[in-house]
Structure 1
Amino acid sequence: MADTRPPFDAAVTGIGMVTAAGIGTAASWNRICLGNSTAAVRVPALAGTRADFGCAVPGFDAAASLGRRKALRLDRSSQFALAAAAEALADSGLDTATWDGARVAVVLGSGIGGAATWEAQHDVLLERGFNQVSPMLIPMLAVNMAAGYVAMECGARGPNFVTATACASGTTAVGTARELLRSGVCDVVITGGTEACLVPSIVSGFSQMGALSSRRDAPGDASRPFDVDRDGFVPAEGAAVLVLERPADVRARGGRIHAMVSGYGASADAHHATAPDPEGRGAELALRTALRDAGLEAADIAHVNAHGTSTPLNDITEARLISRVLGDRPAVTSVKGVVGHSLGAAGAIEAAVTALSVEHRLVPPTANLQSPDPAVDIDLVAKAARGIPAGAGVSNSFGFGGQNAVLVLTAG
């Protein structure tokens, strides 16, 4: 049965980012718009593995940002979430000391949770015995804890949970957050995604699958979405948090709106554990659902922030999907050429970038796009950021298990 509900806009009033492109929204946005890859020559935590490079957050000092005592009790993924949430809330202009916390929800996405804590404590178990395993292991590794800690920090007592839809997790979180606002359950939702999985076990797992780029001699050139020479993604870490409110509430308090989350679609491929449906049928269902939910047509879409992982199968399938549903009008980019693939946080980072693109009418370039795959028939932004006319933006996310999630963002 078709969704007959009227269109609904969720206003993005705050954005916070912690990415390999920089700590803070301004730093991340500027580096992404320059199109300079952030892939490090080597990631110390990955030393000795076959895939020992990635896109790490530079110079993140959790003790300085959160306080030493608090930082010690948090996995890196939760540290990122708290830092991004603090920036997003400050940007929104909301006063957490006076708001009705019962009407504030937190919905974050994460694919894996506290991977670094899990791996470190497993080493302790093997080397020193079970009596030396930290009593903080469970609250540090559990996938829901990032949302829980954000709520504790700002007194958000409404619905609180984490969505785990693999690499679509952050997008699923933002779409679900919008639905909470739409339902009337809450008045404010803190949403986004976080991930910190630059650890040997996780990266080695992706490497063994053949999902990662093998360009160890030139890591800065390794993530190259839609390029004919792409050979896999570059792993990354990071977080992005958005504050969502109803537009009428924002205007009543004199707040600023970056963009609107106007449409959301989700689906499953029901095809394969790790490979996308070669026809893109599940992804197409999610995209068409998001457009219908926003009350928009293909001609209304000015740009697409693609999932664009730099893997052979995903990029071809997604490019054909975009061409089939949206035609050749939208300007298409993938920010993973700059910031790598941060798994469950990727969709949130890309939603934040799409909101900024809508706000500034500027689409960042796809880094390392030297020779577009001739099988890709879409308008790819390369070399430099491109100004675009007013119009809506689409943000695609796809994940293992056949997870598909799509957001449509419009001007505020």
Structure 2
Amino acid sequence: MSITGIGAVTGYGWGRETFWAGVLSGRSAARFEPGYGLDPATGGWAALVPDGGDPEIGGTRYGRAVFAAVDEAVTDARSRGWVPGRRVGLVHAAVLGDVRHWGDFAGPAGPGFRGRDFLRLLPSTPISVVTQAFGFTGPVMGVSAACSSSNVAMLQARLWFAAGLVDDVVCIASDLPATPDLVRHFAKLGAAVVDVESLQGCRPFQEGSRGFSVGEAAVGFVLTRRADRAYATVLGGAMNSEAHHVVSVEPSHDRIVDCARMALADAGVGPGQIDFFNAHGTGTAQCDRAERDLLTRVFADRPAVYSMKPLVGHCQAASGAVEIAAAALGYERGVIPAPPAVAPAHPRLLDGPSRAGSGLTAKLSLGMGGNNSMVVLGPGSLSRA
């Protein structure tokens, strides 16, 4: 299965090239936003998607972002020679989706809503708009596995291909939930950092890391097994559950290790063939411990390591998709857009944009509730091998 089209709406702005320029700059997408501090009267840092999108699409900012990411991915894939098959499926990864519109509906503006305005709250509505616009008549479903959702959506697409249910799949991962209240709750939980700029607070695999900046994103992919010019190849993957705690990582890390080993087996590769570890990399203490342990136990601390969250923030369901998009674009453009290191770090942590090469990438995502997942990626040339 290959990634042959990419669309992105992120804290950097609207569009794949805006995203790429942003991450290559080494500057975080997070900005100082009024009302986003631990005290509602103060500001804080968050990587919010700016207003934009096609006004003709209508709907909410969230709906426009979903449509824009799919539209850009489809246009991109067509420009690279993709011709949609008869059965194009669509899998949508989301956790909270459009929190702002829910707040409007439940708040003082709610009584003024028209009778059908509540439809915008349903995750099925923007996806229905997409399927109608593009004529996608394959299977459609949503997946939600917390912050592991993007990887899980990729794996769901692979299952559809294996079952012969689709000719192609469009995968869209979207969460634009960063209201001041939600960001404040993440900060109170001890996971989010709002009082300093992202690169200073979020330092995965570095000393002094305190957590992540909350981010927003909608990222679309066209997935096919008939690619002439693929960005990257999805070789395999796996997912499992820790069955341990709503928030805390199971301290032995055994289930995460199991997940990685199953992903490698599914991809048909050994640990020594992985050159890059695209980390979940939230910058929290428990995530750092888990991923450092995984790197040692499974990969013998061999791969180069990087995390995109210091740059794009933690985008919940879309976090893995943002990170997969960076890896896929990096394969074609020969650059891993890693953030700069700002403190003493793991010896294999990349420091700023680095040469990508053609080695394989293990992409780990961990989600609240004990959702673990990994996908194994390779360069697009492998799709023709």
Q: Normalising by structure 1, what TM-score?
A: 0.85
- Alignment gaps of 5+ in structure 2: 381-385
Q: Aligned pair in 2 of structure 1 residues 147, 170: CA closer, same or farther (>3 Å)?
A: farther
Q: Confirm or deny that 1:112 pairs with 2:107.
A: no
Quote the Cα distance in structure 2 between the aligned partners of 1:299 and 1:145. 44
Spell out the pairing of 1:314-353 with structure 2 (5 A cutoff).
Answer: 314-353=287-326
Q: Aligned pair in 2 of structure 1 residues 219, 293: CA closer, same or farther (>3 Å)?
A: closer
Quote the Cα distance in structure 1 between the aligned partners of 2:255 and 2:132. 37
Q: Find the counterpart in structure 1 of residue 122 from structure 2.
A: 142
Q: Aligned pair in 2 of structure 1 residues 257, 36: CA closer, same or farther (>3 Å)?
A: same
What is the letter of the counterpart of residue 73 of structure 2? Answer: A
Q: Confirm or deny that 1:79 pairs with 2:70.
A: no
Q: Aligned pair in 2 of structure 1 residues 230, 161: CA closer, same or farther (>3 Å)?
A: same
RMSD, aligned CA: 2.5
Q: Confirm or deny that 1:18 pairs with 2:9.
A: yes
Spell out the pairing of 1:192-271 with structure 2 (5 A cutoff).
Answer: 192-214=172-194, 216-219=195-198, 221-246=200-225, 249-250=226-227, 255-271=228-244
SS of 2:33's partner is coil
Q: CA deviation at 1:209?
A: 1.4
Q: CA deviation at 1:136?
A: 4.2
Q: Find the counterpart in structure 2 of residue 67 from structure 1.
A: 55
Q: Confirm or deny that 1:151 pairs with 2:131.
A: yes
Structure 2 counterpart of 1:175, from 130, 150, 155: 155
Contact 1:113 1:144 in 2 (8 A): no
Q: Find the counterpart in structure 1 of residue 383 from structure 2.
A: none
Quote the Cα distance in structure 2 between the aligned partners of 1:231 and 1:49. 23
Q: Aligned pair in 2 of structure 1 residues 265, 164: CA closer, same or farther (>3 Å)?
A: same
Contact 1:34 1:365 in 2 (8 A): no
- Alignment gaps of 5+ in structure 1: 1-9
Q: Aligned pair in 2 of structure 1 residues 192, 406: CA closer, same or farther (>3 Å)?
A: farther
Q: Confirm or deny that 1:391 pairs with 2:359.
A: yes
Quote the Cα distance in structure 2 between the aligned partners of 1:43 and 1:295. 49
Quote the Cα distance in structure 1 between the aligned partners of 2:118 and 2:374. 32
Quote the Cα distance in structure 2 between the aligned partners of 1:50 and 1:166. 29
Q: Normalising by structure 2, what TM-score?
A: 0.91
Residues 60-92 of structure 1: CA distance to partner in whole angstroms, max 9, x if unpaired? 412xxx234x32x23x33221211111110111
Q: CA deviation at 1:100?
A: 5.2
Q: Find the counterpart in structure 2 of residue 380 from structure 1.
A: 349
- How many residue pairs align between the two structures? 379
Q: Find the counterpart in structure 1 of residue 376 from structure 2.
A: 408
Contact 2:26 2:340 in 1 (8 A): yes
Q: Aligned pair in 2 of structure 1 residues 404, 137: CA closer, same or farther (>3 Å)?
A: farther
Give the % identical residues: 29
Quote the Cα distance in structure 1 between the aligned partners of 2:137 and 2:34. 38
SS of 1:313's partner is helix
Q: CA deviation at 1:220?
A: 5.3
Quote the Cα distance in structure 1 between the aligned partners of 2:3 and 2:96. 26
